A = this chain, B = another copy of it.
Amino acid sequence: MQNFSYQQLFDFTKNILLKIGCSELHAQQGAEVLLSADMRGVDSHGVARLSGYVRLWEKGRINSNPNIRITHETPSTAVVDGDGGLGLVVAPYAMNVAIEKASKAGTGWVSVKNSNHYGIAGYHAMMALEHDMIGISLTNASPLVSPTFSKERLLGTNPISVAIPAKEEPPFVADMATTTAANGKLEILQRKGNPAPMGWVQDKEGKPTTSSNGVKDGGALLPLGGDREHGSHKGYALGSIVDIFSAVLSGANYGPWVPPFVAFLEPDPNPVGEGIGHFFGAMRVDAFRPADEFKSHMDNWIKRFRSAETTPGNDRVLIPGDPERELEAIRAKEGIPLLDPVVKDLTSLGEKFGIRML
């Protein structure tokens, strides 16, 4: 484990993105999105993924100089074609379209096709906050998840993020996979050789398992709920809604057709759409009630929940976004810890492009 400053990793990431042909603006934007994951503790979606993006570019599956554009629109909606670009730059473009629509029509809703992995969902949703808007960010992803009763993997971890501004209190920021546990958490158990709790994974026969290698061995992640008795049909429905809003609305690939993030797996030769899909929403708070009034009530909501009496052994009730914000403050001071294999991977990536990691 080694600690790096935000600036070190930001510069490194930006320089790599410039090397693969991104514009100055896109390299800057891409690095910012990627680093926001490391800062907020979603390590699986940060710089650890940089070499994965580069491998996709090497295979011609990411266009580093895309012509991102609106292909269809109404006063409150748009479809954005990402032109095969990095999701890290396509997503902020599309979220800005949603914000602009909202500033005129009250709300803006953008479905995106022909994109790639967009980093953490929360970054894009949070773009709305400074405009006194509620931000929503959804994306589909490579199929790793089996619907309730299905042996096959048909959905991605399809996250939902919703960011809601408050006044004195920090904002409410939910950012969650629609599975019981995110794949990143499973990988940590795998690395340590620890078992996974029941309800996270099923094996390749479709039977529940505690093996943290279950997904690697041909099994699947389970939808939030874990099994039918505990509401997995609800997690499955949520993941499906994310898939449909992101891809069936826009014309991207959906369900099992979503192209894999890893470069060694080939996309389906008979796609049902273009690239992967995202969905963004922005709602102007004052399209409903005065922003100041709303934000005061959000403060009241947050204070009441945060001060709730706790269950035995727990000392406080968290508000969605609390853990990530607290980690961000720590990492701003102490730097971002990277695991040795990640440092090694980035170092060799740097060598390839003549960029020093340190």
Does A356 reach chain B (CB closer than 8 Å)? no
Are A230 and B318 CB-contacts (below 8 A) given A106-B74, A180-B225?
Answer: no
Residues 280-299 of chain A: 1 if any B CB is under 8 Å from the residue's CB, otherwise 0?
00011101110001100110
A75 to B76 CA separation, bound complex (whole angstroms): 8
What's the least CB distance linking A27 to chain B, in Å? Answer: 30
The reply on A42 being an interface residue by CB < 8 A is: no
* Cross-interface CB contact of A230 among B74, B164, B199, B244, cutoff 8 Å: B199
Closest to A155 in B: B305
Copies of this protein chain in the complex: 2
Known: A230-B199, A304-B154. A106 touches B106 (CB 8 A): no
Residues from 256 to 287 in A contacting B, C-beta threshold 8 Å? 256, 272-273, 283-285, 287
Across-interface contacts of A304 in B (CB, < 8 A): 154, 255-256
Interface pair A249/B289, CB less than 8 Å apart: yes
Task: Name the one of B154, B224, B272, B293 contacting A225, with C-beta atoms under 8 angstroms.
Answer: B224
Contacts of A287 in B (CB 8 A): 74, 76-77, 109
Q: Are B289 and A147 in contact (CB under 8 A)?
A: no
Contact assessment for B176 and A316 in the assembled complex, using a CB-CB cutoff below 8 Å:
no
Q: Determine whether the beta carbon of A109 is less than 8 Å from that of B106.
A: yes
A202 with B311, Cβ < 8 A, contacts A289-B251, A304-B154, A304-B256 known? yes
